[in-house]
Structure 1
Amino acid sequence: MSWSDPQTPRVSRSGRPARRGRRALLVGLVSFAAASLAGCGFTPVYAPGSTGAALDGTVEVVQSGGSLGFTLTEALQDRLGAPGSNARYRLTTVLGVTSERVAITTAQSTNRFNLIGTVAYTLADAATGQPAATGRVDGFNSYSAIGTALATGAAEEDAYERLMVILADKIVADLLVAPELAR
């Protein structure tokens, strides 16, 4: 009996096929992990009655000014879902982005730029205007300024778009762990 023979079934020490033993072990470990997490108060974010369920499709995102505000609003709507006819919450943002030179040659030519973005946000009840959650997130991204003007411009535009996605992800992550939003 050879292990390299493809027609020879592999067996564990107990005589069962080896795959079945691995599956049983995996099922046991997953069951143990689920029981352990349930004991510590863990609840899934998108479970019924949780913050994910409360925010899914119920948030109207108020667009900030400019193309960056549009990109941020679009990223937030992608993550929170399009609101129905009567949104439960209204999310407003104040966006700020700065650019700084980080790779400067001896000839004072800049080869790389960092974009640093901050967003202050307020999630308010749409009917009363009462704030449900507020916060501030920040993030950064960078781009290379080596090459043609066209290549540098394209890299810069892409870096700004990626920064807005990073900031949107951080806002949504903050909102998903806000216990006051659970139904």
Structure 2
Amino acid sequence: MSSSDRRKLLTGLAGFAMLAGCGFSPVYGPGGQAEGLRGLIRTDPPADAQGYTLVRRIEERLGRPENPAFGLSASVLTEQAALAVTPDQETTRYQLRGTMIWSLTRIADGASAASGTLHRATAYSAPVFSADRGSIAGNTVSVLTAEQDARRRLMVILADDLVSHLLATAPDWQR
């Protein structure tokens, strides 16, 4: 074993020792904060394609509800803003901002368990078109596809952030 490999090994072991010393435990592991959480949260049915993407991602992370103890309601508002504008005032890049207002309730008694608001953003390119100079890059189909992909990415980002928050705070709202 070379000294470089030995240093990497010792550094890795020191990192694990530090994690063990600070009380780190895997969130899904035995005794972890999310132990027994899979399948306990039922989301409201999606109303549109964005909602479907959001619910699908939450269920991928938390499992499909089998015996739900909690109900999750989420409302997402999106807003589009110009990010990159040409000297001719043509927008070539957009930012898609999303705000999610969510609440978690106990199904048994309808009491609020947790709630909050998340703000996230993503972006996409929108090439400029004109009859006299053609497209800078792409076509209308590529712009529409880029926007749809940005909306899908935004829902995944919001869902992942919500699930991370729920996992990190599970001991507080599972009582």
Structure-1-length-normalised TM-score: 0.78
Tell me if 1:164 matches 2:145. Answer: no
Q: Residue 35 of structure 2: SS of its match in structure 1?
A: helix
- Aligned AA for 1:119? M
CA distance in 1, matches of 2:51, 2:174: 28
Question: How far did residue 23 of structure 1 move?
Answer: 7.2
- Aligned AA for 1:132? A
Aligned residue number for residue 148 of structure 1 = 139
CA distance in 1, matches of 2:68, 2:174: 16
CA-based RMSD? 2.5
Question: How far did residue 31 of structure 1 move?
Answer: 5.4
Q: Residue 138 of structure 1: SS of its match in structure 2?
A: strand
Q: Give structure 1 stretches of 5+ with no counterpart.
A: 1-17
- Aligned AA for 1:148? N
CA distance in 1, matches of 2:116, 2:153: 21
Q: Residue 135 of structure 1: SS of its match in structure 2?
A: strand
Q: Give structure 2 stretches of 5+ with no counterpart.
A: 128-137
* Matches for 1:1-150 after TM superposition, within 5 Å: 18=1, 26=9, 32-84=14-66, 86-146=67-127, 147-150=138-141
Aligned CA distance change for structure 1 residues 154 and 24 (closer, same or farther; 3 Å): closer
CA distance in 2, matches of 1:170, 1:88: 21
Q: Which has the larger radius of gyration?
A: 1
Q: Is the 8 A contact 2:113 2:174 kept in 1?
A: no
Aligned CA distance change for structure 1 residues 107 and 80 (closer, same or farther; 3 Å): same
Aligned CA distance change for structure 1 residues 182 and 124 (closer, same or farther; 3 Å): closer
- Aligned AA for 1:164? M
Find runs of 4+ consecutive structure 1 residues off by over 6 angstroms: none
Tell me if 1:180 matches 2:172. Answer: yes
CA distance in 2, matches of 1:161, 1:134: 23
Equivalenced residue count is 164
Structure-2-length-normalised TM-score: 0.81
Question: How far did residue 49 of structure 1 move?
Answer: 3.9
Question: How far did residue 123 of structure 1 move?
Answer: 1.6
Q: Residue 157 of structure 2: SS of its match in structure 1?
A: helix
Q: Residue 95 of structure 1: SS of its match in structure 2?
A: strand
Aligned residue number for residue 15 of structure 1 = none
Aligned residue number for residue 14 of structure 1 = none
Aligned CA distance change for structure 1 residues 33 and 97 (closer, same or farther; 3 Å): same
Question: How far did residue 24 of structure 1 move?
Answer: 11
Provide, for residues 42-85 of structure 1, a one-character-per-residue CA deviation record: whole Å limited to 9, x for no partner.
2221123433224212111113432211211111111111111x
Q: Is the 8 A contact 1:51 1:181 kept in 2?
A: no
